[in-house]
Amino acid sequence: IKIKVTKINVPVSVASAFEGERVRKDTMFAEFGGNKTECWELVTSGDPAEMEDHKITLIGPDIDDAMFAGADVVRLPLGIVVTVGGKAMQKDFETVLERRIHYFTNYIDGAMHVGQRNIAWIRLTKEAFEKGFRLKHIGEVLYAKMRSDFEKVVDKCEITIYTKAEDVKRLGEEMVKPIYAERDARMSALTDASVDEFYTCLLCQSFAPSHVCVVTPERLGLCGAVSWLDAKATKELDPLGPNQPIIKGEAVDERLGIWDSVNEVVNAASQGAVEKVTLYSILEDPMTSCGCFECICGIMPEANGVIIVNREFSQTSPVGMTFGELASMTGGGVQTPGFMGHGRFLIGSKKFMSAEGGLSRIVWMPKELKDDVAERLNKAVFEMTGIENFTNMVCDETIATDSEAVLEFLETKNHPALAMDSIM
Ligand code: SF4
Ligand code: ZN
């Protein structure tokens, strides 16, 4: 990736070198999202004729507001709307620019950004605050990077930052969620079989040098932020960029999802570290996981199925590990058969570990995740197996987390995984 040096008017440094920086509790000054407050981000296109370039607006209190005097940590809800306009701008580019909010914010010395869409999570350090960093400076950075990195399509850019709880909530429901849903619906209409090419994503090689995501219509990038449509749009925006097409050709093995073309590309892009991957199996040459996966699924042998844990869930899962413990085992660009990082949206894809029996192997998920994916998951399982309301059979932490109790629950629900072929 080319990183251009641009003059940005903020009191701290902004460079890709700061990308991997974490902001820990003891150095943290302010926090947005991360389960504590609502936090979302959106890139949308506007009519350039009606836009005022470089307009940055904060609606609501800033982090130096008097109401935070003496507070341990400043916590605010946050909604960021980046409006871009330009003759060459296309709707399909919006999500691509939106994902860059993650990278651009991480370039700020003293800022950490995790997640995307309405599960974004941002922290700022005390040091950055003391140097004079305020919320409008996030706008300055996003403005400068959107204009410079996407100069071909962005002629004008406006940033609006909302921090009043009622605005963040109302706009989140009325404006932002319908836009996310519309994008997802467009994506749902595409299948792996209906396209001629898949795409690589190499964006995370800055963190995990041997990691390659293979993005297909039914299998989005594991950060949850790069769909096949996004990868395709990125290729158009940035022909030499992180998303390159893989001309599919004939499958070597349809069930496991093996393509010679995919293996060749993954091998080359990982500098030989990963020789082969399957697209539809978590046991045989599963795809590697970088560090920013939204969820991890892992085998629970005694239940003959898999559990899924999302990043926001902090308790111990039925396999005896927390998300963090699972992540340290699964991440870093290595293949870990039996465990795999993936996006939330994959829960509901008919290709989700389809080689091992697919979605009906899911035996446990945190309640929040289960509720979030229920509609698509139930629909997909019904279409595949005829089972209605599958999520009623899936255990969660409000029912049980210890192995025996989970099994008991699965038995009372007659969970389909119990009757499937042995998973190991
Ligand atoms: Fe790309 Fe995968 Fe990283 Fe997402 S997780 S940015 S798809 S490499
Ligand atoms: Zn990643």
Q: First vs last Cα of the chain: how many Å apart?
A: 40
Residue 170 belongs to some domain of the structure:
no
**Is the CB–ligand 1 distance for residue 266 below 6 Å?**
no
**Which one of the ligands is nearest to 231 CA?**
1
The mean pLDDT of the chain is 95
Looking at the structure of the chain, the number of domains it has is 2
Unique residue bearing structure tokens 């060749």: 264
Please give the share of the chain, as a percent, with pLDDT higher than 90: 91
159 and 198 both lie in a single domain: no
Residue 144 belongs to some domain of the structure:
yes
CATH number for the domain that contains residue 385: 3.40.1470.10
154 and 42 both lie in a single domain: yes
List pLDDT tens digits, range 62-86: 999 999 999 999 999 999 999 999 9
Sorting pLDDT into bands at 50, 70 and 90, what band is 404? very high
Sorting pLDDT into bands at 50, 70 and 90, what band is 2? very low
What count of other Cβ atoms lies within 10 Å of the Cβ of residue 92? 16
Q: Read off the pLDDT of each residue in 279-305 and give the average, rounded to a whole number.
A: 96
Which residue CA neighbors atom 6 of ligand 1 most closely? 203
Task: Give the mutation target among 104, 117, 203, 266 for probing the ligand 1 site: most ligand atoms within 8 A of CB.
Answer: 203
User: Cβ distance 173 to 185 under 8 Å?
Assistant: no
Nearest-atom index, ligand 1, CA of 226: 7
Sorting pLDDT into bands at 50, 70 and 90, what band is 347? very high
**Is the CB–ligand 1 distance for residue 308 below 6 Å?**
no
List pLDDT tens digits, range 31-41: 999 989 999 99
385 and 239 both lie in a single domain: yes
| DSSP secondary structure of 324-346 | HHHHHHH-SSB--TTEEEE-GGG
Q: What is the pLDDT of residue 21?
A: 87
How much is the ipTM here? 0.99
Residue 175 belongs to some domain of the structure:
no
**Is the CB–ligand 1 distance for residue 214 below 6 Å?**
no
By residue count, the chain amounts to 424
405 and 301 both lie in a single domain: yes
138 and 235 both lie in a single domain: no
The amino acid present at 10, given as its one-letter code, is V
316 and 385 both lie in a single domain: yes
Nearest-atom index, ligand 1, CA of 224: 4
Q: At what angle do helices 94-106 and 135-149 cross, to 10 degrees?
A: 120
Range of the domain at 362: 190-419
CA distances from 70 to 25, 31, 62, 66 (A): 16, 15, 15, 9
Residue 289 belongs to some domain of the structure:
yes
Q: What is the pLDDT of residue 64?
A: 97
**Is the CB–ligand 1 distance for residue 292 below 6 Å?**
yes
The amino acid present at 378, given as its one-letter code, is N
Sorting pLDDT into bands at 50, 70 and 90, what band is 331? confident
Token duo for residue 125: 């350090």
**Is the CB–ligand 1 distance for residue 269 below 6 Å?**
no
CA distances from 341 to 16, 243, 320, 353, 358 (A): 24, 19, 17, 12, 15
Residue 183 belongs to some domain of the structure:
no
Residue 323 pLDDT > 90? yes
Nearest-atom index, ligand 1, CA of 225: 4
Which residue CA neighbors atom 5 of ligand 1 most closely? 223
List pLDDT tens digits, range 146-182: 999 999 999 999 999 999 999 999 999 999 999 999 9
Question: Cα of 212 to ligand 1 centre, how many Å?
Answer: 8
Please give the share of the chain, as a percent, with pLDDT higher than 70: 99
Nearest-atom index, ligand 1, CA of 213: 2
Residue 305 pLDDT > 70? yes
What count of other Cβ atoms lies within 10 Å of the Cβ of residue 251? 17
Residue 184 belongs to some domain of the structure:
no
Residue 119 belongs to some domain of the structure:
yes
List pLDDT tens digits, range 174-232: 999 999 999 988 888 899 999 999 999 999 998 899 999 999 999 999 999 899 999 99
Burial of residue 415 (number of CB atoms within 10 Å: 0-12, 13-18, 19+): buried
**Which one of the ligands is nearest to 342 CA?**
1
Q: Read off the pLDDT of each residue in 383-390 and give the average, rounded to a whole number.
A: 97
Residue 8 belongs to some domain of the structure:
no
Question: Cα of 236 to ligand 1 centre, how many Å?
Answer: 17
Question: Cα of 59 to ligand 1 centre, how many Å?
Answer: 32
**Is the CB–ligand 1 distance for residue 262 below 6 Å?**
no
208 and 348 both lie in a single domain: yes
pTM, full prediction = 0.80
Calpha distance 158→93 (Å, rounded): 16
Q: Read off the pLDDT of each residue in 366-394 and give the average, rounded to a whole number.
A: 97
List pLDDT tens digits, range 101-110: 999 999 999 9
Residue 1 pLDDT > 60? no
Question: Cα of 238 to ligand 2 centre, how many Å?
Answer: 19
Of residues 292 and 247, more confidently modeled: 247
Does residue 417 come out as left (phi exceeding 0), alpha (psi in the -120 to 50 range) or beta? alpha
Task: Give the mutation target among 198, 288, 290, 345 for probing the ligand 1 site: most ligand atoms within 8 A of CB.
Answer: 290
User: Cβ distance 211 to 195 under 8 Å?
Assistant: no
**Is the CB–ligand 1 distance for residue 290 below 6 Å?**
yes
CATH number for the domain that contains residue 65: 3.30.1650.10
319 and 230 both lie in a single domain: yes
Q: Strand, helix or coil at 85?
A: strand
Calpha distance 327→305 (Å, rounded): 19
Q: What is the pLDDT of residue 5?
A: 45
Residues with CB under 5 A from ligand 2 (ion): 204, 290, 292
